[in-house]
A and B are shown apart, each in its own frame.
Chain A
Amino acid sequence: MRYFARRLGYFLLTLWAAVTLNFLIPRLQPGDPAEMMVKKLAGKDAELDPAKIAAMRAMLGSPEGNLFDQYVAYLSQLLRGDFGVSYTYFPTPVTDVIAKALPWTLVLVGVTTLLSFVVGIVLGALAAWKRNSLFDSVVTLGSTFIGTLQAFWVALLLLFGFGYILGWFPTSGGYDSSTPGFNLEFLGDAIYHSVLPAAVLLLLTPIGWILGMRNTMIMNLGEDYIRLAKAKGVPDRQVALRYAARNALLPSVTGFAMALGGILGGQLLIEQTFDYPGLGRIMGQAAMSKDYPLLQALLLFTIVGTLLANLVADLLYGVLDPRARKANS
């Protein structure tokens, strides 16, 4: 129980640090941050909407008062779920913009993350079990080679190859003319649009799992308990699955929980390339157009997602591996 309490306390402490970081970033600039930002924007928009300045003030809290007062105001705003108003989608609240993009990312990145994990673990375990075989060489060299390719470049190539030249798939967006909602037409449309981004993710994300699983499994296969199991006459298949793979899976489970938390960040570069309406693209756009309230909210959102996933991973690890519980309490 102490292990779990400790983990939870750690989570709260990290959460506080992350929120504070998020509070400090806009204030790292010299001078009055609100004024600086308004000036930056004024360079672009000839007519500056006073309401937008108000939005900026809202994000930064009251510009009067010292840093501590601002900090308290910021925290109470967060507790009320008030993240301010987006500039680019003015006057939509930041939370609405995020809520609209969230399902797209959750489905695309969620499904591909899950599939990649399963594929990666299976391939990695097989490669380790058949170490130095042709299969192992193909899988290991193949993943190493593909791993050196940049995801956004692969995305660009697929986009131009299958989208523009062959014209098999749509080149941007998440859906065409159909109305969003639960109807077959829209779902088909959305799936059709997600084929290319999903293909890139399915090609590249299993690689980490493959190599990681292969390495831990090879290490585990060298352990004494494997030798003992073999000496006892336990069938090969059982040694591979129930002994080696089961233990080698442990670090990957933690990694998987972390990856699930990472979903909230979206796949920035991929979504940007395909103009896919998820959280990643919104973040890229917010950065480009200096939509600071949206950007800060997305950053906080991403961080909190990762922290929560981390907590779950830690708790899970405590359940799965008694050694972790003992070592940490």
Chain B
Amino acid sequence: MTTTQPGQEMAIDAEAQIDEIESAGPTWFQVIWSSKKARFGVVLLALYVLVAIFAPLIAPYAADDLSFNPVELSSPAHPLGTTTQGADILSQLIWGTRVSLIVGVFGGLFATAVALLIGLVSGYLEGTWVDDVLSFFTNVALVVPTLPLIITLMAYSEVRSIWFTILIIGIISWAGPARGKRAQIITLRNRDFVTAAKFAGDKTFTIIFREILPQMMSLVAAGFFGAATGAIGAEAGLSFLGLGNTESVSWGTMLYQAQLQGALAQGLWLWLLLPGLVLSGLIMALTLINFGIDLISNPHLREDA
């Protein structure tokens, strides 16, 4: 995971620079907050983050504690009931929040870092052999169908930690954002400030990551949230197929079990309904935040927000 470090440093750096540049206008947070949709998304996401952080305090039991009476409907001890294997549904939901957020944050970071590195270098060196090679890999990765490839790779592994899932998802999903960043940098690299930096004798890497990258932070942020959303969805899908990580219970695992055990036939409809609902809520929060980020990069959209 060493590849994420340069990206992170840059991000902090770039934020400072963007603040400087936009000190006259509204800050990025004001722009996001000004949109009702995005504001709702930020609040919703904050809720999920709180639940994930305080999971040990909120959750009544451990997610893999199977010691309760199976198939119990709502009761004071188990407000949402228990599964056919005797796990507490509420606790599984709460702990599952952690899994999804970890997958989202790290899957998103990983994919964004790879996308940045490949997209920016290839775009800046457009027309050279470096660009040809990088673009070729990007295009191959782009056309290879994501889910079948992830599933194939997962099928070869016996024990799967959450980090393995993140790694596989990250490796597969950098290509789209990389292409976007390549296109963006091509429009930026002939601007005056880049020429100035070149004449000042800056190295290519310095120009790309210190001069140009800060100009496209909103695109990077949007890419991150997009990748995080994709990673969360992919993890849920994999777990639903029974190919997710084998060490912790996620919302996808819950749905997999719920279908396998015929949750509805036993009256456990909350078991089937809730994991999908909280998953959709999280994905909606991220999507709404991305609307807000779009407002930063495209001021034309702001008027009707």
Given contacts A287-B243, A299-B152, contact A14 B143 (CB under 8 A): yes
Q: Which of A56-64, A103-111, A142-150, A231-239 forms contacts with chain B?
A: A142-150
CB neighbours (8 Å) of B276 from chain A are: 149-150, 153-154, 156-157
Say yes or no: is B76 at the interface (Cβ < 8 Å to chain A): no
The answer to whether B152 and A156 touch across the interface, beta carbons within 8 angstroms, is no
With both chains docked as a complex, state the minimum distance between the C-beta of B151 and any C-beta of chain A, in angstroms: 5
Q: How far is the CA of A26 from the CA of B258 in the complex (A)?
A: 32
The answer to whether B144 and A306 touch across the interface, beta carbons within 8 angstroms, is yes
The answer to whether A25 and B148 touch across the interface, beta carbons within 8 angstroms, is no
The answer to whether B304 and A269 touch across the interface, beta carbons within 8 angstroms, is no
Say yes or no: is A303 at the interface (Cβ < 8 Å to chain B): yes
Q: Which of A92-100, A182-190, A290-298 forms contacts with chain B?
A: A290-298
- The residue on B at minimum CB distance from A14 is B140
- The residue on B at minimum CB distance from A258 is B143
Q: How far is the CA of A284 from the CA of B243 in the complex (A)?
A: 9
The answer to whether B139 and A14 touch across the interface, beta carbons within 8 angstroms, is yes
Q: Which of B109-117, B195-203, B220-228, B234-242 forms contacts with chain A?
A: B234-242
With both chains docked as a complex, state the minimum distance between the C-beta of A319 and any C-beta of chain B, in angstroms: 20
Q: How far is the CA of A188 from the CA of B53 in the complex (A)?
A: 52
The answer to whether A295 and B264 touch across the interface, beta carbons within 8 angstroms, is no
Say yes or no: is B149 at the interface (Cβ < 8 Å to chain A): yes
Say yes or no: is A272 at the interface (Cβ < 8 Å to chain B): yes
CB neighbours (8 Å) of B259 from chain A are: 156, 273
- Chain A interface residue number, banded: 35 or more
Selected from A26, A28, A40, A303, the residue in CB contact (under 8 A) with B145 is: A303
Which B274-290 residues have C-beta < 8 A from chain A? 275-276, 279-281, 283-284, 287
Q: How far is the CA of A296 from the CA of B152 in the complex (A)?
A: 7
- The residue on B at minimum CB distance from A36 is B156
Which A15-29 residues have C-beta < 8 A from chain B? 17-18, 21, 25-26, 28-29
Selected from B136, B255, B264, the residue in CB contact (under 8 A) with A152 is: B255
- The residue on A at minimum CB distance from B237 is A269
Q: How far is the CA of A18 from the CA of B144 in the complex (A)?
A: 8
The answer to whether B148 and A302 touch across the interface, beta carbons within 8 angstroms, is yes
The answer to whether A160 and B287 touch across the interface, beta carbons within 8 angstroms, is no
Say yes or no: is A253 at the interface (Cβ < 8 Å to chain B): no
Say yes or no: is A310 at the interface (Cβ < 8 Å to chain B): yes
Interface size of B by Cβ–Cβ distance < 8 Å? Answer: 40
Say yes or no: is A165 at the interface (Cβ < 8 Å to chain B): yes
The answer to whether A288 and B233 touch across the interface, beta carbons within 8 angstroms, is no
Q: How far is the CA of A17 from the CA of B133 in the complex (A)?
A: 12
Say yes or no: is B147 at the interface (Cβ < 8 Å to chain A): yes
CB neighbours (8 Å) of B121 from chain A are: none
Say yes or no: is A327 at the interface (Cβ < 8 Å to chain B): no
With both chains docked as a complex, state the minimum distance between the C-beta of B232 and any C-beta of chain A, in angstroms: 10
Most chain B beta carbons < 10 A, residue from A156, A157, A258: A156
- The residue on B at minimum CB distance from A160 is B264
Which A299-313 residues have C-beta < 8 A from chain B? 299, 302-303, 306-307, 310
Q: How far is the CA of A25 from the CA of B304 in the complex (A)?
A: 49
The answer to whether A283 and B140 touch across the interface, beta carbons within 8 angstroms, is no
The answer to whether B143 and A306 touch across the interface, beta carbons within 8 angstroms, is yes
Q: Which residues on A are within 8 Å of B, measured CB to CB?
A: 10, 13-14, 17-18, 21, 25-26, 28-29, 40, 132, 144-145, 147-150, 152-154, 156-157, 160, 164-165, 258, 262, 265, 268-269, 272-273, 283-284, 286-288, 290, 292, 295-296, 298-299, 302-303, 306-307, 310
Q: Which residues on B are within 8 Å of A, measured CB to CB?
A: 136, 139-140, 143-145, 147-149, 151-156, 158, 233, 236-237, 240-243, 255, 258-259, 264-265, 269, 272-273, 275-276, 279-281, 283-284, 287, 304
